[in-house]
């Protein structure tokens, strides 16, 4: 993360070095890659935490001028390599931006989303429909930072690109409506927000072919938070019930979660658990959320957290339903099969036997 000072007045004639985040004249250069520049230390730190830490070295071949042009075959090979690197970095930066958004780190999502936009432009051109996902990432980050005017600008660019294109992927349509829903929510326009999020759910369901697919869970989550803000608790409870069912079903499959999906699942299930603990009287309701959370932690390889949440779920289920209920038996079996600490699992089960004796 080291940076060295540079003097804009000392740059070669015609060479303008701008800040990676804001475009102002740069006074610092990253010493890791030596091809990225910043106006101040704050922007360097934000970019480093947001995305640069992961792509520092990967930027070198893309931003270093080629001294010798070479043959036509060599140029074609170099162009192919460059495109491949740009495509890889586009996916990496989009995933990282999504992850930061789900974690609520909106200021750190901006650098990743900006890089995604740059790579999208480099690959597809400045007017392509493929730029829309990056605009939506920037829009959502701006909403999270309460910069509604900036968010409106990004979402307007996305909407105009969609209107101009005509044929648009259903996932893009869903994300566009979700972002407008978040914008309206931030502007306290609840009914308009609900309409937009409902369209998000509709298009996500069409895309997946299943209204209870994991890709639809985010739309349900935002709808639930809107209902809760309006004190429509019956509707909120129903939405969270559906979300828990979606994740419980999905986590029982062999399908993996990428980093962004993991962060989204943690955010959604955390809210579902808090809601059930605070607003639903049945202890079984909270126990189910804890159990689904345990399944999530096992899916992503966090066995310690999986044991912790499964243990809490088991305690609640045994208190409410008894030791011999099928779900209690299932969770005890789950704890026994957790890799790396079967002894701890057995001790936990043994302690419960002693306390119930």
Domain parsing of the chain, residue ranges: 1-61, 281-357
Whole-angstrom distance, CA of residue 27 vs CA of residue 13: 16
For residues 236-262, give the mean pLDDT.
Answer: 95
Q: What is the per-residue pLDDT across 36-76, written as a single tens digit (0 to 9) for each?
A: 999 999 999 999 999 999 999 999 999 998 777 778 888 89
For residues 290-319, give the mean pLDDT.
Answer: 97
DSSP string, 63-110: HSPPS----HHHHHHHHHHHHHHHHHHHHHHHHHHHHHHHTT-HHHHH
Q: How far is CA 168 from the centre of its chain?
A: 22
Whole-angstrom distance, CA of residue 310 vs CA of residue 335: 7
* Distance separating the N- and C-terminal Cα atoms of the chain: 58
pTM score of the predicted model: 0.88
Identify the CA nearest to 51 among candidates 146, 116, 118.
116
Question: Which tokens go with 226?
Answer: 């809107």
Give whole-number Cα distances, 156 to 139, 222, 233, in Å: 9, 21, 33
Residue 40 has what DSSP assignment? S
Give whole-number Cα distances, 313 to 194, 248, 294, 328, 343, in Å: 33, 14, 8, 9, 19
Burial class of 321 by CB neighbour count within 10 A (0 to 12, 13 to 18, 19+)? middle
Q: Is the pLDDT of residue 137 over 90?
A: yes
Question: Which tokens go with 199?
Answer: 């369209």
Whole-angstrom distance, CA of residue 149 vs CA of residue 172: 22
| The pLDDT of residue 70 | 77
Q: Is the pLDDT of residue 237 over 90?
A: yes
| The pLDDT of residue 339 | 52
Dihedral angle computed from the Cα positions of residues 215, 217, 219 and 225, in that order, rounded to the nearest 10 degrees: -160
Q: Is the pLDDT of residue 333 over 90?
A: yes
For residues 156-161, give the mean pLDDT.
Answer: 96
| The pLDDT of residue 353 | 45
Whole-angstrom distance, CA of residue 107 vs CA of residue 46: 8
Q: How many CB atoms lie within 10 A of CB 15?
A: 7
As beta bridge partners, residue 37 has 29
Quote the crossing angle between the two packed helices 72-102 and 132-144, to the nearest 10°: 30
Whole-angstrom distance, CA of residue 19 vs CA of residue 184: 32
* Residues in the chain, overall count: 357
Q: Which residue has the tokens 């349900």?
A: 220
Q: What is the CA radius of gyration of the chain?
A: 24
Q: Which residues contact 233 (CB under 8 A, 6 or more apart)?
A: 227, 279
Question: How much is the mean pLDDT over the chain?
Answer: 93
Question: Which tokens go with 324?
Answer: 């011999």
| The pLDDT of residue 112 | 98
Q: Please compute, for residue 113, the number of CA atoms within 13 A of its CA located in the half-sphere on the CB side.
A: 24
Q: Which residue has the tokens 């480099």?
A: 122
Quote the crossing angle between the two packed helices 342-356 and 303-321, to the nearest 10°: 20
| The pLDDT of residue 75 | 86
Q: Is the pLDDT of residue 239 over 60?
A: yes
Whole-angstrom distance, CA of residue 157 vs CA of residue 180: 12
Q: Is the pLDDT of residue 344 over 80?
A: no
Give whole-number Cα distances, 172 to 141, 144, 149, 280, in Å: 17, 20, 22, 35
Whole-angstrom distance, CA of residue 226 vs CA of residue 188: 10
């Amino acid at each position: 993360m080291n940076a060295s000072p540079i003097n804009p007045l000392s740059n070669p004639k015609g060479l303008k070095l701008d800040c990676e985040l804001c475009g102002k004249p740069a006074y610092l250069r990253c010493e890791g890659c030596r091809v990225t520049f910043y106006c101040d230390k704050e922007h360097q730190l934000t970019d480093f935490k947001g995305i640069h830490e992961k792509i520092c070295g990967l930027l070198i071949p893309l931003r270093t001028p080629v001294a010798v042009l070479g043959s036509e075959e060599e140029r074609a090979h170099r162009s192919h390599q460059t495109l491949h690197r740009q495509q890889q970095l586009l996916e990496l930066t989009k995933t990282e931006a999504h992850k930061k958004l789900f974690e609520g780190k909106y200021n750190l999502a901006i650098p990743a989303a900006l890089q995604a936009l740059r790579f999208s432009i480099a690959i597809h051109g400045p007017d392509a429909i493929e730029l829309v996902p990056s605009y939506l990432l920037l829009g959502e980050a701006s909403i999270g930072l309460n910069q509604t005017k900036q968010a409106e600008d990004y979402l307007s660019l996305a909407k105009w690109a969609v209107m101009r294109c005509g044929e648009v992927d259903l996932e893009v349509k869903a994300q566009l409506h979700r972002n407008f829903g978040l914008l309206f929510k931030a502007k306290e326009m609840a009914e308009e927000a609900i309409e937009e999020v409902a369209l998000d759910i509709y298009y996500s369901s069409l895309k997946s072919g299943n209204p209870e697919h994991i890709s639809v869970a985010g739309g349900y989550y935002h709808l639930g938070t809107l209902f809760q803000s309006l004190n429509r608790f019956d509707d909120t409870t129903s939405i969270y019930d559906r979300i828990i069912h979606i994740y419980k079903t999905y986590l029982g499959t062999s399908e993996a979660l990428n980093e962004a999906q993991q962060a989204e699942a943690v955010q959604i299930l955390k809210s579902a658990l808090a809601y059930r603990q605070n607003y639903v009287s049945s202890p079984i309701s909270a126990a189910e959320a804890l159990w689904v959370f345990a399944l999530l932690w096992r899916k992503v390889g966090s066995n310690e957290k999986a044991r912790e949440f499964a243990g809490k779920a088991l305690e609640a289920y045994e208190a409410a339903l008894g030791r011999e209920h099928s779900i209690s038996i299932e969770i005890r079996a789950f704890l026994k099969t957790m890799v790396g600490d079967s002894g701890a699992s057995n001790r936990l089960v043994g302690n419960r036997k002693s306390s119930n004796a």
